[in-house]
């Protein structure tokens, strides 16, 4: 059964597995571990560990039936698929110096995976690479992956890394198991069906080192019983750091798998059980020895905070790539307007900013005689018009509003809204592109919501530069400025999703995405800043910046799959709005971050720095970004001349 109920969580992390030994009686294995042990699935060895192809041939038994754990008929197809993960024989060593062992390993690996595919298993657990090299192992696995249908291969990797910086910078050092994983997945060409299962020990590397794995394709974590501590009552428990790590695994949809024998002194536990109606036996069957460990994992799961309502709403968008809007070329649909209009936090911030601007513009003693001219440019279906009028009512100021909107369909809704609310004498609706409208008078305040995930990526600078001609010299623009930010991230899933398109164009496109399974390798840094109104002589909105990110020395090596982008804006004075992680506006969902992928991921060595160059390029008809890495190795310049991704003017 699931570990428990956590509102909003429907991920696989609710289910816990157990590693079992070889048995030719799979129905009994499932009955003992699932029915009596309450585990959800078993990681089961499929073939007798004593089997070696070379011995079979010597004994003249090459044609004999292979020693699998029973036939496929002993369980239903649904049971095999739902409750069994195949465990490939742990003795396999495809990089051994022993030619016979190497040959036996390759034959057996292919036989076991073929059998697992025949059973329609969802996944197979591959043993950890044995030595410093894994080239032949990876070659064989890559061959298998080419013909694999839907089954996943999970590579078992121990979660170890030295915390000695001077040791970790040594290129020959393999105390960082991430290096083994990285070498293996590079040899397998980042195949999307190759994932990681982490073997967690009693000691953990640094927090930064652990953080790398949340951007990798980790499917599960194996906790051996000897990594548990013992609480005063004799029950198993985990250290605070291990507990925090388990919560991180749960939050990233990674499953927990238990392995090993019970290593705790269960005298006290057994006396508790005996005192509770001899619960140690269920229908004459001994209680599972790892049940206390499972109960503890369930306790950790159940005590986690429920997912907030906003997170539940965004679950379906996690790590899902979306193309950014083309606000000038395309007219938004009603459903898109409706989604954005539900973001009450955003409009509360706008209302606060407008109220402060009105108070600064008109002193209290003139509030009943002076009328402020406010223009909402890009009015959509009217949420900023409503926020402006509510700010005027709140501050007791008189207001005259022009609502400028280019989408004729939204203009229809605006007319209906004005009539419904009785705003005819206050609001004038203008059906026009703000850049081409000839205003009858100058505005005191110019309000817009043209910001994209990267601040300027929906052409707010170009639109507001065109609209500021009808703003008074001392007029106020809301927002008054905005800055974009980026930082390098490990994002294995996003990289594989882009790679699946098998073309350059998708690697040169910026995507809007609800980032989840990523590792943030360094704090965000500012990229481009725009200020409004723009009174400078040079009105060019082209930009170029060079950024250098320092990766903490205790992180270890890491892979950069691309850059996550954000924005922060100042609406007016101290009222701000943004999604940059360190200053993000709480409970706001109008913007997901933006993701700039790299065609070839960059591997960073411990303590190294990453130099990246970003350009914002403009022509009379379009705006686009170009980006590239200069150090520690050079990438190509992505999206040269906007050949793959651009925003039309």
CATH number of the domain encompassing residue 640: 2.70.160.11
pLDDT at site 269: 52
pLDDT at site 204: 95
449 belongs to the catalytic site: yes
| Cα-based angle 492, 578, 642 (whole degrees, multiple of 5) | 55
240 is in an annotated binding site: no
Name the 3-class secondary structure at 604.
strand
Instruction: Give yes or no: residues 175 and 271 share one domain.
Output: yes
Residue 558: inside a domain: yes
When mean pLDDT is compared across 6-10, 114-118, 371-375, the lowest value belongs to 6-10
Please say whether the beta carbons of 124 and 116 come within 8 A.
Answer: yes
Q: What is the DSSP string of 240-282?
A: HHHHHHHHHHHHTTPEEEEES---S--HHHHHHHHHTTSTTEE
346 is in an annotated binding site: yes
495 is in an annotated binding site: no
pLDDT at site 572: 98
Q: Provide the residue count of the chain.
A: 649
Say which residue the tokens 């706001």 belong to. Answer: 588
Q: What is the pLDDT of residues 438-483, one digit of tens each?
A: 999 999 999 999 999 999 999 999 999 999 999 999 999 999 999 9
Instruction: Give yes or no: residues 289 and 402 share one domain.
Output: no
Question: Which residue range is the domain that position 340 belongs to?
Answer: 334-449
The conformational region for residue 434 under phi > 0 = left, psi -120 to 50 = alpha, else beta, is alpha
Instruction: Give yes or no: residues 417 and 490 share one domain.
Output: no
pLDDT at site 189: 95
- Average pLDDT along the chain: 92
Instruction: Give yes or no: residues 163 and 290 share one domain.
Output: yes
Higher pLDDT, 354 or 9: 354
Please say whether the beta carbons of 198 and 218 come within 8 A.
Answer: yes
When mean pLDDT is compared across 170-184, 211-225, 578-592, the lowest value belongs to 170-184
Residue 601: inside a domain: yes
pLDDT at site 163: 65
Q: Please give the helix or strand (H or E) that residue 347 lies within, else none.
A: helix 344-361
Instruction: Give yes or no: residues 69 and 206 share one domain.
Output: yes
Considering just the CA atoms, what is the radius of gyration of the chain in Å? 30
Please say whether the beta carbons of 146 and 194 come within 8 A.
Answer: no
Please give the Cα distance from 340 to 343 (Å, whole number).
Answer: 6
Higher pLDDT, 319 or 164: 319
pLDDT at site 2: 66
Residue 622: inside a domain: yes
Please say whether the beta carbons of 452 and 323 come within 8 A.
Answer: no
pLDDT at site 59: 64
Higher pLDDT, 421 or 275: 421
Can you tell me the mean pLDDT for 143-149? 95
When mean pLDDT is compared across 1-5, 260-264, 437-441, the lowest value belongs to 1-5
pLDDT at site 164: 60
CA 589 to chain centre: 16
Q: What is the pLDDT of residues 387-397, one digit of tens each?
A: 999 999 999 99
Count of structural domains within the chain: 3
Query: Residue 539: pLDDT band by 50, 70, 90 thresholds?
Result: confident
pLDDT at site 168: 44
Query: Residue 326: pLDDT band by 50, 70, 90 thresholds?
Result: confident
Please say whether the beta carbons of 91 and 100 come within 8 A.
Answer: no
Query: Residue 167: pLDDT band by 50, 70, 90 thresholds?
Result: very low
Q: What is the pLDDT of residues 108-129, one digit of tens each?
A: 999 999 999 999 999 999 999 9
Please give the Cα distance from 557 to 223 (Å, whole number).
Answer: 24
At which of 449, 469, 489 does a domain end?
A: 449
Q: Is the pLDDT of residue 335 over 90?
A: yes
Q: Which of 112, 179, 216, 458 is catalytic?
A: 458
458 belongs to the catalytic site: yes
Residue 324: inside a domain: no
Q: Is the pLDDT of residue 174 over 70?
A: no
CATH assignment of the domain containing 432: 3.40.50.150
Q: Is the pLDDT of residue 601 over 80?
A: yes
Q: What is the pLDDT of residues 52-94, one digit of tens each?
A: 998 887 665 555 678 887 889 999 999 999 999 999 999 999 9
Pairing of strands 236-237, 255-259: unpaired
Instruction: Give yes or no: residues 493 and 440 share one domain.
Output: no
Please give the Cα distance from 458 to 616 (Å, whole number).
Answer: 12
pLDDT at site 279: 45
pLDDT at site 166: 46
Q: Is the pLDDT of residue 275 over 90?
A: no
Instruction: Give yes or no: residues 87 and 123 share one domain.
Output: yes
The conformational region for residue 253 under phi > 0 = left, psi -120 to 50 = alpha, else beta, is left
pLDDT at site 75: 93
Instruction: Give yes or no: residues 282 and 368 share one domain.
Output: no
| Residue 213 CA: distances (Å) to CA of 288, 301, 613 | 31, 20, 26
Q: Is the pLDDT of residue 268 over 90?
A: no
Can you tell me the mean pLDDT for 23-27? 93
CATH assignment of the domain containing 46: 3.20.20.150
When mean pLDDT is compared across 257-271, 499-513, 574-588, the lowest value belongs to 257-271
Instruction: Give yes or no: residues 297 and 358 share one domain.
Output: no
Q: Is the pLDDT of residue 169 over 90?
A: no
Can you tell me the mean pLDDT for 503-520? 97
293 is in an annotated binding site: no
pLDDT at site 60: 59
At which of 406, 433, 449 does a domain end?
A: 449
Measured from the Cβ of residue 191, the count of other Cβ atoms closer than 10 Å reads 19
Instruction: Give yes or no: residues 499 and 434 share one domain.
Output: no
Residue 420: inside a domain: yes
Query: Residue 171: pLDDT band by 50, 70, 90 thresholds?
Result: very low
Please give the Cα distance from 25 to 74 (Å, whole number).
Answer: 8
Q: Which of 179, 449, 462, 580 is catalytic?
A: 449
When mean pLDDT is compared across 11-20, 60-69, 302-311, 612-621, the lowest value belongs to 60-69
Please say whether the beta carbons of 400 and 425 come within 8 A.
Answer: no
434 is in an annotated binding site: yes
Instruction: Give yes or no: residues 535 and 576 share one domain.
Output: yes
Instruction: Give yes or no: residues 93 and 181 share one domain.
Output: yes
At which of 393, 428, 449 does a domain end?
A: 449
When mean pLDDT is compared across 40-49, 261-270, 439-448, 527-536, the lowest value belongs to 261-270
| Residue 218 CA: distances (Å) to CA of 105, 234, 255, 307, 523 | 25, 32, 9, 21, 23
Residue 46: inside a domain: yes
pTM above 0.85, yes or no: yes
Can you tell me the mean pLDDT for 554-577? 97
Pairing of strands 123-126, 152-158: parallel
Can you tell me the mean pLDDT for 193-220? 96
Q: Is the pLDDT of residue 258 over 90?
A: yes
350 is in an annotated binding site: no
pLDDT at site 266: 52
Residue 77: inside a domain: yes
Residue 459: inside a domain: no
């Amino acid at each position: 059964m699931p570990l428990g109920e956590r509102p909003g969580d429907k991920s696989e992390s609710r289910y816990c597995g157990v590693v079992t030994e070889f048995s030719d009686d799979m129905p009994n294995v499932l009955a003992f571990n699932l029915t009596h042990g309450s585990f959800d699935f078993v990681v089961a060895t499929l073939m007798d560990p004593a089997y070696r192809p070379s011995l079979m041939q010597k004994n003249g038994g090459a044609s004999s039936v292979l020693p699998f754990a029973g036939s496929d008929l002993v369980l239903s197809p649904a049971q095999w698929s739902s409750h069994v993960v195949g465990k490939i024989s742990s003795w396999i060593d495809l990089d051994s110096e022993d030619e016979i062992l190497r040959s036996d390993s390759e034959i057996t690996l292919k036989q076991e995976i073929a059998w697992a595919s025949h059973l329609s298993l969802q996944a197979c657990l591959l043993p950890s690479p044995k030595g410093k090299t894994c080239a032949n192992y990876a070659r064989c696995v890559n061959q298998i992956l080419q013909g694999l249908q839907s089954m996943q291969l999970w590579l078992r990797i121990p979660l170890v890394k030295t915390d000695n910086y001077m040791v970790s910078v040594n290129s020959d050092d393999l105390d960082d198991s991430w290096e083994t994983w990285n070498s293996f997945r590079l040899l397998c060409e980042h195949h999307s069906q190759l994932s990681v299962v982490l073997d967690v020990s009693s000691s953990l590397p640094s927090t930064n080192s652990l953080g790398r794995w949340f951007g990798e394709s980790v499917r599960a974590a194996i906790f051996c019983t000897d990594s548990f501590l013992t609480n005063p009552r004799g029950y198993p428990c985990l250290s605070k750091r291990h507990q925090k790590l388990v919560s991180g695994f749960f939050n990233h949809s990674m499953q927990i798998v238990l392995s090993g024998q019970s290593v705790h002194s269960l005298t006290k536990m057994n006396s508790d059980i005996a005192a509770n109606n001899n619960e140690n036996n269920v229908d004459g069957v001994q209680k599972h020895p790892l049940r206390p460990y499972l109960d503890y994992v369930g306790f950790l799961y159940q005590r986690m905070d429920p997912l907030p309502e906003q997170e539940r709403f965004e679950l379906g968008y996690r790590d899902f790539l979306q193309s950014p809007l083309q606000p000038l070329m395309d007219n938004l649909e009603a459903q898109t307007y409706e989604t954005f209009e539900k973001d009450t936090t955003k409009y509360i911030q706008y209302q606060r900013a407008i109220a402060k601007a009105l108070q600064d513009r008109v002193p209290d003693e003139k509030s009943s005689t002076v009328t402020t001219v406010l223009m909402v440019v890009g009015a959509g279906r009217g949420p900023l018009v409503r926020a402006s009028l509510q700010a005027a009512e709140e501050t007791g100021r008189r207001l005259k509003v022009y609502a400028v909107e280019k989408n004729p369909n939204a203009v229809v809704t605006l007319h209906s809204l004005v009539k419904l609310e009785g705003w005819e004498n206050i609001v004038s609706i203008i059906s026009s592109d703000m850049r081409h409208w000839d205003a009858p008078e100058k505005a005191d305040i110019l309000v817009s919501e043209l910001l994209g995930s990267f601040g300027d990526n929906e052409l707010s600078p170009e639109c507001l530069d065109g609209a500021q001609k009808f703003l008074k010299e001392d007029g106020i623009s809301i927002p008054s400025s905005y800055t974009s930010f980026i930082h390098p991230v490990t994002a294995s899933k996003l990289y594989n999703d882009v790679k699946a398109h098998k073309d350059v164009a998708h690697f040169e496109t910026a995507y809007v995405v609800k980032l989840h399974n990523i590792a943030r390798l360094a704090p965000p840094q500012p990229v481009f800043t725009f200020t409004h109104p723009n009174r400078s002589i040079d009105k060019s909105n082209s930009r170029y910046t060079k950024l250098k990110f320092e990766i903490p020395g205790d992180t270890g090596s890491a892979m950069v799959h691309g850059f996550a982008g954000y924005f922060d804006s100042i609406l007016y004075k101290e009222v701000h709005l943004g999604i940059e992680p360190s200053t993000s506006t709480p409970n706001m969902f109008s913007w997901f971050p933006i993701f700039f992928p790299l065609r070839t991921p960059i591997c960073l060595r411990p303590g190294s720095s990453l130099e990246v160059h970003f350009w914002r390029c403009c022509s009379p008809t379009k705006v686009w970004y170009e980006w590239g890495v200069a150090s520690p190795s050079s990438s190509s310049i992505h999206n040269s001349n906007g050949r793959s991704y651009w925003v039309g003017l």
